[in-house]
Amino acid sequence: MYKACQTHSGNSFVHLLFAQLNAVKFACNWKLKGQQPGGKVYKTNFSHSIYQARTGHAPPNHDDSQDAKAHFRAFQTCQKKIITSRNYLLDLYDKVHIYVHFAAWD
Residue 56 domain-assigned (yes or no): yes
- pTM for the model stands at 0.61
In a domain, 5, yes or no: no
Range of the domain at 86: 23-105
* Residue 80 placed within a domain: yes
Residue 68 lies in a domain: yes
Task: Look at residue 8 and tell me if it is in a domain.
Answer: no
Tell me the percentage of the chain whose pLDDT exceeds 90: 25
Amino acid identity of residue 79, one-letter, is Q
- Please write the tens of the pLDDT for every residue from 53-64: 999 999 998 899
Q: How many domains does the chain have?
A: 1
Q: 32 falls in which pLDDT band (50, 70, 90)? A: confident
pLDDT at 71: 92
Q: Which of 7, 32, 13 is nearest to 102 (CA)?
A: 32
Q: Is residue 9 part of a domain?
A: no
The CA angle 60-63-69, to the nearest 5 degrees, is 35
Task: Tell me if 93 is assigned to some domain.
Answer: yes
Given this model, what pLDDT does residue 49 score?
Answer: 93
Determine, yes or no, domain membership for 4: no
The mean pLDDT of 69-94, rounded to a whole number, is 85
Mean pLDDT for 22-50 is: 87
Residue 38 — pLDDT band, cuts 50, 70, 90? very high
Rounded mean pLDDT of 45-54? 91
